[in-house]
Structure 1
Amino acid sequence: MLYLREMIKRCANNYPTKVAYYCGSRTATWKQMDERSDRFARALQKMGHGKGTTVSIMSLESIEVYEHFYACMAIGAVRVGINTQYAWPEVLHVLKDSKTRVLLVDARLKTMVADHRSEIKAIGITIIGYNGEHDFPLDYETLLSEASGTPEWPELAPDDLLFCSYTSGTTGVPKGVMLTQQGGADCVIHSLISFGFAPDDVWYMPAASAWVVIIMNCYGLGNAMTTIIPDGSFKIDAFLRDVERFRVTVGLLVPTMVQRAIIEQQNAKYDLSSLRLLMYGSSPATPKLIRDAREAFKVEMIQTYALTESTGGWITYLTEGDHKLALESEPDLLKSVGRVGIHFECSIRDDEGRPLPPNTKGEIWLRSTTLMKGYMNLPKETAEALKDGWLRTNDIGSMDERGYVYLLDRQKFMIITGAVNVFPTTVEAVIVEHPAVLEVAVVGVPHPEWGEAVVAVINKRPTHKSTSLEDIIGFCEGKLSKPETPKHVVFVDELPKTANAKVKKAEIRKWLSNEKGLVPWNTEIE
């Protein structure tokens, strides 16, 4: 098979002077990416590291993040990104769990490890600093300057580890998703094919690289297109300025980012004429948001659905043609995440694992070469998730006769109120149509009579600050069933989100459940 490390060489040989990455005022050509990553790979080998060694990185967004990943690809080392939003106990867990031996630390983040260097040293980890002033034992640029020759390439197998992506840590201890060489390569190639990306496209997906989305900023390995990296961290105004400055043609945002981009564009009016395609995914989007985005940006749109456990490989596609069909005659299609890509098999199954007929709610099961190898050091959880080559996603959905998948919600977010199952996304899709609502998250909160009660947490638009609980509940009447209608509404200035702009529903639920007085019943019920 064609591994990603071979794609790096081909990009460098076939497009040596073409820009691979822009990051702020910095650029790197494909030849430079190849040469610098080779130097780091060689430096790692001189230090005694190679195939199977975990080489981790704690960084804000920078070109070095990808030099590091490419170096790992070359020598078969396992790449691990450290989420910069983690508390120290979570960081330490990841370092120990992954058996990290080398840790690159962005000098801009040196205070995160300043008080823990003895702990890091005690578990056998060497720290390498880069991107500014630091006093770590080794310096990245010095290592590169002293490295000579080319790294030796060990033999690889398709199921060898490429990288390990740790969960965002919103519930419990982060767990490592082990992703393979074949999964990474197939994700790159099939994504390019399914999205219709070309060598002349300029791609911008401004998510934090600590987790699985790093592979999406490696799509250029499959066609040598140029990729934009956020300079340090994502900001919506910086994203739109970069689209204008670098003439971005294709971008991807999660729904919460899309909402903010719409507002920013309405206020500032950036030149986005280069943008031909806006992709959105990673969490459910409401039909209203889709309509608003098409109006604001005047671009084609594709919705996607993916999982960390599928190497971030996009499973379904709601194409531009699907969007047009929905807007012209089939509005309910906007509730779909599209049809399944050719590199996946999808089955909707009941609690016993039996396939269900079309239009029946059940758990989404998947089979593909991009599926994870398992969870790091968690054999029980791996066995529960992987069944005879299929992945149990824990996502609830259905598939109609034409193959369109409707993602209802994650099983863990489903609310059981008075023995009735309520899917938060269904409620959110109604509430967000209210003109006062900017963002909404619906969760189940323990209730003494119904087991759980539906509660909506709302971030209001600045122009509608007088909107009340009664306004929202009255708006839901006739649109939602009685069990689905919120029993209470809480207004907040902002919804808590992960580094990649996903709403932290587990955190919201815990807050509402534990802090007395936020809901008008006993919040201390377990």
Structure 2
Amino acid sequence: MLPRELIRRTGSNNPKKVAYVCGDHEVTWGQMDARSDRIAAVLLSMGCRVGDAAAIIAPECIEVYEHFFACMKAGAIRVGINRRFTPAEMIHVLRDSNARYLFVHASCTDQIEIIRDVLDELDIGVIGFGGAHNFASDLDALTDAVASVPDMPSLSSEDPLFYSYTSGTTGVPKGAVLTHGAVTVTILHALAEFGFVRDDRFFLPTGNAWVAVVLAFLGLGNGMTHIIADGDYDRGTFFDTVKEKSVTAFLLAPTMLKWALEDNKATPFDLSSVRLIVYGSSPASPHLIRSVHETFGKDMINVYALTETTWGGVSFLSPEDHRRGLSTKPKLLSSVGRVASHFEISIRSEDGQPVAVGEPGEVWLRGPTVMAEYLNLPEQTQEVQSEGWLRTNDIGSLDEEGYLYLLDRQKFLIISGGVNVYPASVEEVIVKHPGVADICVVGLPHPEWGEAVVAVVHRADSHPELSHTELIEFCRDKLNRPSVPKHIVFTQEDFPLTTNFKVRKNDVRNLLMSRPQDIPWDLEG
């Protein structure tokens, strides 16, 4: 079954059921089906063929999903452009994807004007929407002119549906090629794992330019309602929206959960409508999980997913798993759960051989939602794909019950004195100190050990005098000697974050490297 068939059936079976709520604007599943028909007709009338790329740059708004559904129907390849990209990055994505069309929200007009010459050079048709703009074509005018909806072209489950450009921390964005069939599988399996039902109202506040956009149309599989941010995630109003829109479930990154705990101290939130808190995107410490549970008292699900698996929901730590972790088996809170049934998993050594249960290695995955390739990057594709398996670059281990524990990204691995140190494992220990509000661990060159562990720490307001010595002593009986930080850097500067709220560790490391006077050894050593 293709995603466009889900649109048709959900629209037909739930014509008056609210599909999306964005601020004061609501649309039904029947309206989403009809509106996306008209946008698909516009694309076809402009000469769009199966496999042509139709890019979009916009804040969160309902038109983002009307456009995506239209691409599902017409066979266009949806390309989301991150509004925080530099002009050079935007140009790269447009060139790399060979975009023929660019849908531009009125609020993004100034950004597009900067690259107008490139759009003309590439002969990209620009279509404005969402307010006043100065583009020649307007989406509402074009859809109003549609006399009838033509037959849609034939499609295969193997056809590309969208290119998701990785948020990344280094280099130019690279596009993962994700198919129609992979999206259908993701939708249906995610609904089962989350336990969502037709009456749920799910609030996903993250951006629409990356792969998690799939979570904002899970309702195609059951007719539930999606609450989306009116523009961008707003820390100050998020929980007001939860209350006002009777949200039953929401997803936040761990960084956002930390903010929620801080803000709830000043004015406790009304979460009476909420039954489930979902979190993911980056590691969450057991300390944070316990704090969220103690504060809000809701069921929780942790999810591990990747761009290269069409989001896909690789593994889930269920509400019952959380209850076990909070009571009889605390180690579970360090896990990302058990692997979903549409994936095979293998933990492999550097030479590609499976390792024993409990031993660390690279996580390899195989399943129907794995990307087709990295667009225009055959060598990088070959590096991560082997006989149907995806090499994730994540280091993890499996226990005897099948729970997956992620130790860190392979690229963040620190080798100190010949010993492998996983920054996430060090962070998990240090954040338990009551004087630590936030933490980022990186490796820096060391003249004796090759690399040394350095922790960059935000002090908690309750411990303004927390010292280097105190924190080092706190670690000594909890970490092996190479893992104990050789230096602590205290800062009040916010950590740089990706669009999905992961800390840009390479940026933190580069900042430290640019300040050698703050490190008590010779970085050139």
TM-score class, shorter-chain normalisation, is over 0.9
Deviates more, 1:511-520 or 1:356-365: 511-520
Q: Structure 1 stretches (4+) deviating beyond 6 angstroms?
A: none
TM-score using structure 1 length: 0.98
Match of 2:101 in 1: 102
What amino acid is the match of 1:271? D
Match of 2:446 in 1: 447
In the TM superposition, 1:184-333 aligns within 5 A as 184-333=183-332
Unaligned runs of 5+ in 2: none
Match of 2:142 in 1: 143
Question: Whole-Å Cα distance in 2 between the matches of residues 8 and 343 of structure 1?
Answer: 23
Match of 2:521 in 1: 521
Residues 394-449 of structure 1 show CA distances to partners (whole Å, capped at 9, x for unaligned) of 11001011111111001001111111110011100111111121111111112222
Q: Does 1:499 align with 2:499?
A: yes
Give the superposition deviation at 1:515: 3.0
TM-score using structure 2 length: 0.98
Give the superposition deviation at 1:319: 1.1
SS in 1 for 2:6: helix
In the TM superposition, 1:27-426 aligns within 5 A as 27-426=26-425
SS in 2 for 1:112: helix
Question: Whole-Å Cα distance in 2 between the matches of residues 71 and 396 of structure 1?
Answer: 38
SS in 1 for 2:274: coil
The alignment-based identity, stated in percent, is: 48
What amino acid is the match of 1:38? D
Contact 2:253–2:282 (CA under 8 A) maintained in structure 1: yes
What amino acid is the match of 2:219? G
Question: Whole-Å Cα distance in 2 between the matches of residues 151 and 383 of structure 1?
Answer: 40
Question: Whole-Å Cα distance in 2 between the matches of residues 26 and 500 of structure 1?
Answer: 25
Contact 2:414–2:451 (CA under 8 A) maintained in structure 1: yes
Give the superposition deviation at 1:456: 0.9
Contact 2:52–2:76 (CA under 8 A) maintained in structure 1: yes
Deviates more, 1:90-99 or 1:482-491: 482-491
SS in 2 for 1:457: strand
SS in 2 for 1:158: coil
Contact 2:281–2:501 (CA under 8 A) maintained in structure 1: no
Question: Whole-Å Cα distance in 1 between the matches of residues 228 and 524 of structure 2?
Answer: 44
Residues 85-130 of structure 1 show CA distances to partners (whole Å, capped at 9, x for unaligned) of 1111111100000001111111112111222201111011111111
What amino acid is the match of 1:507? D
Deviates more, 1:145-154 or 1:65-74: 145-154
What amino acid is the match of 1:44? L
Give the superposition deviation at 1:330: 1.1
Question: Whole-Å Cα distance in 2 between the matches of residues 445 and 154 of structure 1?
Answer: 54
Question: Whole-Å Cα distance in 2 between the matches of residues 520 and 112 of structure 1?
Answer: 43
Deviates more, 1:273-282 or 1:488-497: 488-497
What amino acid is the match of 1:334? L
Q: Does 1:20 align with 2:24?
A: no
Match of 2:508 in 1: 508
RMSD of aligned Cα (Å): 1.2
SS in 1 for 2:184: helix
Match of 1:478 in 2: 477
Q: 1:379 to 1:332 in 2, by over 3 A?
A: same
Deviates more, 1:454-463 or 1:240-249: 454-463
Deviates more, 1:489-498 or 1:383-392: 489-498
What amino acid is the match of 2:514? N
Unaligned runs of 5+ in 1: none
Question: Whole-Å Cα distance in 2 between the matches of residues 54 and 491 of structure 1?
Answer: 46
What amino acid is the match of 1:283? S
Match of 1:465 in 2: 464
Question: Whole-Å Cα distance in 1 between the matches of residues 56 and 517 of structure 2?
Answer: 42
SS in 2 for 1:363: strand
Question: Whole-Å Cα distance in 1 between the matches of residues 233 and 490 of structure 2?
Answer: 26
Q: 1:523 to 1:232 in 2, by over 3 A?
A: farther
Question: Whole-Å Cα distance in 2 between the matches of residues 216 and 258 of structure 1?
Answer: 18
Give the superposition deviation at 1:132: 1.6
Question: Whole-Å Cα distance in 2 between the matches of residues 446 and 12 of structure 1?
Answer: 58
Residues 223-282 of structure 1 show CA distances to partners (whole Å, capped at 9, x for unaligned) of 000001111111223221111111111111111111111212222212101111111112
Give the superposition deviation at 1:291: 0.1
Question: Whole-Å Cα distance in 2 between the matches of residues 169 and 427 of structure 1?
Answer: 22
Give the superposition deviation at 1:524: 5.1
Question: Whole-Å Cα distance in 2 between the matches of residues 363 and 16 of structure 1?
Answer: 46
Contact 1:192–1:219 (CA under 8 A) maintained in structure 2: yes
Deviates more, 1:443-452 or 1:509-518: 509-518
SS in 2 for 1:467: coil
What amino acid is the match of 1:66? Y
Residues 155-193 of structure 1 show CA distances to partners (whole Å, capped at 9, x for unaligned) of 111211010100114211110000011110000000001
Size of the aligned set, in residue pairs, is 524
